[in-house]
Amino acid sequence: MRKIFLSKWTKAVVFVACLLPLGSLGWDALHNGLTANPIEYITHTTGDWTLRFLLITLVITPLRKILAPELIRLRRMLGLFAFFYGCLHFLTYIWLDKFFDLAEMWKDIYKRPYITIGFLAFTLLIPLAITSSAGWIRLLGGRRWQILHRAIYISAVAGVIHYYWLVKSAVIRPLTYGAIVGVLLLWRLADRFWPRSGAMQAALKSQP
């Protein structure tokens, strides 16, 4: 198992796999598969994948303890893909939905709570994406870097609330995502009571 996670091919395969949702969207676009409401379809697909990648990134920490520490090598890439799909999601909204009408966008952020919280979820990911490199870990110090990167939990919770508030009746999926974030948060809290060592090395090891 460890050999697989250490292989340079694993990273490449995961990278390509992470691009599949985008590829699928491109395929749909080329084959008239974007439904009668393409903007809604793209918004929903990119929103779904932003949340999924956030959860996949969060699940790496417990999995690396249970399965193999080498899994940490994938965390940064998965987190950046969450940000990437978040950018596409936000871009769809501001470009295709609002035609770069910033006044209209601010009105939405101010008036529609699900947009406000979605915006918060996305904004929180920006400093995390910027500081995801090994250079930033060194600059901030492992401890401060880790504290900053806990914001991914707040972003995931905000993303779930954003989803829950925008659906009218189909609450099963947002509630399922919420339950997963809840379990991961509980695991994290429990993990605080376990002896931890080499936090800085673990953070540095996660970088390419």
**Site residues (vs ligand HEM, CB under 6 A):** 40, 43-44, 47-48, 50-51, 54, 86, 89-90, 93, 115, 118-119, 121-122, 125, 155, 159, 162-163, 166
Q: CB of residue 125 vs ligand HEM: minimum separation in angstroms?
A: 6
Gyration radius of the chain over CA positions: 18
Nearer to ligand HEM among residue 112 and residue 205 (C-beta):
112
**Of residues 54, 57, 50, the one with CA closest to residue 21:** 50
Token pair recorded at residue 173: 């999926």
CA–CA distance, 97 with 93 (Å, rounded to integer): 5
Nearer to ligand HEM among residue 1 and residue 172 (C-beta):
172
Nearer to ligand HEM among residue 54 and residue 137 (C-beta):
54
For ligand HEM, the nearest residue by Cβ is: 47
Q: CB of residue 67 vs ligand HEM: minimum separation in angstroms?
A: 25
Q: CB of residue 40 vs ligand HEM: minimum separation in angstroms?
A: 6
Nearer to ligand HEM among residue 50 and residue 132 (C-beta):
50
Residues of 105-115 as b/e, b for ≥16 C-beta within 10 angstroms?
beebeeeeeeb
CA–CA distance, 121 with 115 (Å, rounded to integer): 10
> Roughly what angle, to the nearest 10 degrees, separates helices 38-66 and 75-91?
170
